[in-house]
Amino acid sequence: MSAKIKLLSCISLFILMLGVLILGVLAAGTQTITLDGNINFNVADKSLWVKSASISHDNVTEEPITNFMPGYINSNFNLNISDQINTYGAFTLHFEIINTTTTAYNITTAYSGTVTGVTVTANPTQIPATSATITEITDATPTTQLDITVTNPNGANIDLSDITITFKEWVPTPVSSFEFSFNDTDHTASITKFIGSETDVIIPSIVNQNGIDYTVTSIADAVLFAGAFYLSGIESIVLPDTMTTIGDNAFASCSSLTSITIPKSVTTIGSSVFRYCTSLTSVTFENQTGWRLSTSSTATSGTSIDVSNPETNATNLRITYYNYYWHRS
C-alpha cells in the first residue's frame, strides 16, 4: 500500500490563508493531504493512528493545533490552523503517529515549485513497523513523532500544492537484485551492479554473506563509464542511512528516475552520478551544510554550493556541475 500526502495553499507575505488538510483516497492505496483551512483526514484503510498534532514556527514554541481530535486517519476529524501559521521563516507540523500494522513505511518529500530556497523535510524518514498488529490504542502504545518542516527563507508566496510527501510500504529490494563487493576488514559492502527488474528500489542497509553481516556504505565507481544502475528502469530509489559514498556514474542514464533524497550520512557524490537522468526534477539533501565542488575525487577543498533547493540541485547534478565531485566536510 502506498500513501501520498499533498499540501495545497498559498502563503502570502503578510496574510496567510490556509485551508483544509485533507487526506483522501486518490486511487487504491493512495492518500493525499491538501492544506486549506481545516484539516480533514480520510484514508483507505486503518493503518496509521494520529494521536496528537501540533505546530511550531522557526523551531520556537510548539503549540497544539486547535480542535484536533485523535483517531485513525480514515476517520474524519477537523482542526483549524489558519490562525496558527505565520508568513516567514519555517513552520513545522508535528504528529504523533501509531502504526497499527506490521508494515513499515518509508517517507519521502519533494518540492516542485519555482520559489528559491523552499525546502520540505520529513523527520524521521521511516515509520517503523510494530511487532504485532495493534487492535487497541492506549496511552501506553508506542508512537513515532513525525515532523514535517517547510522553510521559506525569502518570504515569497509559495503554493503548497507543489509539496508532496509520500508514505510507501517499506519493503527492501531483495539482495539478489544487486551485486556487491565486500570488505572483510571493516565488514562493509559496496553495490557494484543492479541486476534486478524493480522500478521502485530500496537499498538494504545490511547484507549477509556467508553468515557475516556487512554494512552497505557505498555505490561503487563506474567501470568503463557504466555505473551500478546504468540504463536501469528505476523510477524511485531509497538510499540507506548507512551510505556515505555514491560513486561515479552511479545512476547515469536512469531516464525514468524522477526524484531522490540524499541521506545525511552521505559525504561524497562522484562525477556524472545523475548525467542523462532526463526525468530527474528533485534532489533533496537531508544535510544541507558544508557541501563543496571540486574537479578531483580526492580534493580536501573546493567551491561551496547551496543545496537548499531540490529543483536547482537536480539541474546542477544533471547538467551544470555534472562532471564535478561533490564533498561534504
Q: Give per-residue pLDDT as tens, 145-194.
A: 888 888 777 767 766 667 676 777 777 789 999 999 999 999 999 999 99
- Say how far apart CA 182 and CA 307 lie, in whole Å: 32
Mean pLDDT of the chain: 77
**Predicted pLDDT of residue 279:** 93
pLDDT at residue 243 is higher than 80: yes
**Predicted pLDDT of residue 58:** 66
Instruction: Answer with the residue of higher pLDDT: 314 or 50.
Output: 314
Does pTM top 0.85 for this prediction?
no
- Say how far apart CA 175 and CA 182 lie, in whole Å: 13
**Predicted pLDDT of residue 180:** 97
Which residue type sits at 211?
G
Q: How many helices (H) and strands (E) does the chain have?
A: 1, 29
Q: Counting Cβ atoms within 10 Å, is residue 25 exposed (0-12), middle (13-18) or buried (19+)? A: middle
Residue-by-residue DSSP string for 282-295: EEEES--SSEEEES
**Predicted pLDDT of residue 241:** 86
Residue-by-residue DSSP string for 117-169: T-EEEEESSEEPPPSS---S--TTS--EEEEEEEEETT---EEGGGEEEEEEE
pLDDT in tens, 31-58: 333 333 333 343 445 677 888 888 887 6
**Predicted pLDDT of residue 91:** 79
The CA-CA-CA angle for residues 41, 42, 45, to 5°, reads 130
Determine what percent of the chain is predicted with pLDDT higher than 70. Answer: 78
Instruction: Answer with the residue of higher pLDDT: 44 or 238.
Output: 238
- How much is the average pLDDT of 295-300? 86
Instruction: Answer with the residue of higher pLDDT: 17 or 212.
Output: 212
Task: Look at the alpha carbons of 146, 202, 116, 305 in this order and tell me if their dihedral is positive or negative.
Answer: positive
When pLDDT is cut at 50, 70 and 90, the band that residue 73 belongs to is low
- Say how far apart CA 9 and CA 14 lie, in whole Å: 15
End-to-end CA distance of the chain: 38
Which residue type sits at 15?
I
Structural domains present in the chain: 2-169 (no CATH), 175-328 (3.80.10.10)
**Predicted pLDDT of residue 301:** 86
Q: Is 306 left (phi over 0), alpha (psi -120 to 50) or beta?
A: beta
- Say how far apart CA 315 and CA 278 lie, in whole Å: 10
pLDDT at residue 128 is higher than 60: yes
pLDDT in tens, 83-100: 555 545 677 888 898 888
